[in-house]
Amino acid sequence: MATDPVLVLEGVVKTYGEGERALEVLHGIDLEVRAGELACLIGPSGSGKSTLLNLLGLLDRPTRGRVHLTGVDTTDLDDAERTRLRNRALGFVFQFHHLVSALTAEENVRMPLALATGRMSASLRPRALELLDAVGLLDRADSPAGQLSGGQQQRVAIARALVASPALVLADEPTGNLDTRTADQVFELFRRFHRERGTAFLIVTHDPRLAARCDRTIELVDGAIVPEGGRA
């Protein structure tokens, strides 16, 4: 059954610098990620993956082209509007989890909701606990994040990314610092949330094992998307 796209890029070009020093990093990217899709983005170092991810996450703007997120054309949004849309529609998981070590696991998970509402209200705690339970860490809810293992911290980061029920989660090398067993556990969490909650995932990875388990692979080479079925 066809689903609506949560993310659409139309002719996206990203250039750094001006004049003779200008360097075009992305060359007319057309891309769709649909609701409920579990996709991965692969490509060699220097292919433009990080640049593309910054555009997908509304952390940067394209030089030309358009980025649509949940049906909203972000081209002319100001910074405050982009931030509100990002907080509402996107979740992020990084290779380095970026938790606040002095805060508890639950407080870290609660953080996106606190940023959205402007206060760290205790009324947000049940939602954070629900997500920690879902990733198997309810018993560590009140432990400082700095006391958790690397795999546990990454599971907290996944719960944090999902706490606001985003339409799309962008995961940048989420298993890059984990051993094989823990990496498999993290991917199974992605698969579970994808299956049970209909969350769309776009996972940037160098791990061919992880890529092979995704539903769709998007390959970026020299700043261009490789057409499905072969190289451009």
* pLDDT tens digits, one per residue of 156-210: 888 888 888 889 999 888 777 777 877 787 788 788 888 887 889 999 888 888 8
Mean per-residue pLDDT over the chain, rounded: 85
**142, β-bridge pairs:** none
pLDDT of residue 229: 56
**Residues of the chain above pLDDT 70, percent:** 92
- The candidate with the shortest Cα–Cα distance to 190, out of 218, 169, 205, is 169
Q: What is the pLDDT of residues 49-107, one digit of tens each?
A: 889 999 999 989 999 999 999 999 998 899 999 988 988 889 888 766 678 888 899 99
Q: Is the pLDDT of residue 35 over 80?
A: yes
Mean pLDDT of 145-157: 86
pLDDT grade for 230, boundaries at 50, 70 and 90: low
Residue 199: C-alpha distances to residues 8, 62, 90, 99, 219 (Å): 16, 25, 10, 22, 21
**217, β-bridge pairs:** 40
Lowest mean pLDDT among 5-14, 111-120, 126-135, 221-230: 111-120
Question: What phi-psi label fits residue 105: left (phi over 0), alpha (psi between -120 and 50 degrees) or beta?
Answer: alpha
pLDDT of residue 36: 85
Domain locations along the chain: 5-225
Domain covering 5-225 assigned CATH 3.40.50.300 in the classification: yes
Mean pLDDT of 8-20: 90
pLDDT of residue 1: 44
pLDDT of residue 77: 92
Mean pLDDT of 140-145: 92
Report whether 7 contacts 33 (CB < 8 A).
yes
pLDDT of residue 117: 66
pLDDT of residue 4: 84
pLDDT of residue 55: 92
